[in-house]
Amino acid sequence: MQQENVKEYIYQDDHVAFFDRVLHYGLRKFTGGRPLTWRFPFTAKERERLIQKVKPAVVIIHEPENLPYFLKLRAKYKFKLVFNAHEYHPLEFEDRPEWQRTSGRYFFRLYKKYLHSLDLLINVCDGIAEECEKNFGIVSFVFPNAALYRPDIKPVPLSDGPIRMIQHGACIRERNIELMVKTAQLLGSDYRLDLMLMKNDKSYYEELIQLASKTSNVRLIEPVSFDEIVPFINQYDIGLYYIKPSSFNNRMALPNKLYEFIQARLCTVISPSVEMKRVVEQNSLGRVAVDFTAESMAEAVKGLSKEQIYDYKQKADASAYKLSAEFLSDKLLEKIVALL
């Protein structure tokens, strides 16, 4: 089957989704996630009307709460069911004891009861796939959050001036972005760091502005649109990213910004997160810090000559297609078509 013969239908009903989230949250919070077979009639009818309208050969769901609904519908309407889990829900906020006693338990039971009935499970990285296989005996197809292939983007040679670094993404306090500011402080005037952040947390954003104002080589810049990220950051030399290993999903984080660094043909310097480390080292894309401190990040950057940075940029160029959404999507499509 050729890709052009595949018709895609994307459905998201925000009202039903919101209704679902509120009611399922109540179940998790007040019952510890025990009633796995409880399906809300309104939601069940909406899901069935959708299936009757579309008559799909394959249904891909992205929320674990949908597993009971669509597995019941699959028995009646004979479609193939794929769950694109994205992350490992049973440990999403494992650092919060109340969440782990309620939602964590709920998601673990959902996984244990329903994963074995799926036609295909998709996870975002090898570490999460290994966790699912260990706990539930289910083999996953790994599909990371890759960026679109940009053949028009090429590595930019370094200038005679300071080495330019970029970190972009959401302004979230749990990401400890202030450590990137400290990294730049430790590196000194031969380096420049731009933080291109979405203002998710305005108070934290203001704190970062104040912190950067005391540092001559750090500035906060306005974010560009999603489609402009890769061409915009192509002007930089190093893509810098740190994430604190505060939970299982953070330890296994494989964020889209890593793949945007690759498509922008940047040298990458990261904290030693398991999955990012695997991608960076397997493809010779840059350097991995020894630990999760600003000092270690600064040492990883400082250990790179300009010649080495440009060599890593060229390695990113060589790996750009095989680590792109297009290449990985073709592999996923082959896997889904094989179900039919």
pLDDT digits (tens, 9 = 90+) for 25-82: 565 655 555 544 455 666 788 888 889 988 999 999 998 888 988 999 999 999 999 9
What is the CATH class of 163-319?
alpha beta
Q: Measured between alpha carbons, how far is 43 from 49 in angstroms, rounded to an integer?
A: 10
User: What residue ranges do the domains of the chain occupy?
Assistant: 3-144+327-337, 163-319
Reported as a single tens digit per residue, the pLDDT across 102-137 is 888 888 989 999 999 999 999 999 999 999 999 999
171: closest CA among 208, 129, 213, 121? 208
Per mean pLDDT, which of 20-24, 312-316, 331-335 is the most reliable?
A: 312-316
284: closest CA among 298, 302, 304? 304
The one-letter code for the residue type at 261 is F
Three-class secondary structure of residue 263 per DSSP? helix
For the chain, the farthest-separated pair of C-alpha atoms sits apart, in whole angstroms, at 66
Q: Average pLDDT, stretch 155-167?
A: 96
What is the CATH class of 3-144+327-337?
alpha beta
Q: Does residue 183 have a pLDDT over 90? A: yes
Do the domains 3-144+327-337 and 163-319 sit in the same CATH topology, yes or no?
yes
Q: What are phi and psi of 196, to 5 degrees?
A: -105, 95
For residues 193 and 167, is the Cβ–Cβ distance under 8 A? yes
Q: Measured between alpha carbons, how far is 122 from 244 in angstroms, rounded to an integer?
A: 25
Q: Average pLDDT, stretch 274-291?
A: 96
All residues at 6 or more sequence positions from 218 whose CB lies less than 8 Å from its CB, including other chains = 181, 184, 185, 192, 193, 194, 195, 211, 212
Q: Measured between alpha carbons, how far is 275 from 265 in angstroms, rounded to an integer?
A: 19
Return the half-sphere exposure (C-beta side, CA atoms, 13 A cut-off) of residue 22. Answer: 7
Q: Average pLDDT, stretch 192-216?
A: 94
Q: Average pLDDT, stretch 285-300?
A: 96
Task: Report the pLDDT value the prediction gives residue 175, as an integer from 0 to 100.
Answer: 86
46: closest CA among 16, 72, 77, 24? 16
Q: Does residue 160 have a pLDDT over 90? A: yes
All residues at 6 or more sequence positions from 158 whose CB lies less than 8 Å from its CB, including other chains = 237, 306, 309, 310
Three-class secondary structure of residue 41 per DSSP? helix
All residues at 6 or more sequence positions from 117 whose CB lies less than 8 Å from its CB, including other chains = 71, 81
Q: Average pLDDT, stretch 140-145?
A: 93
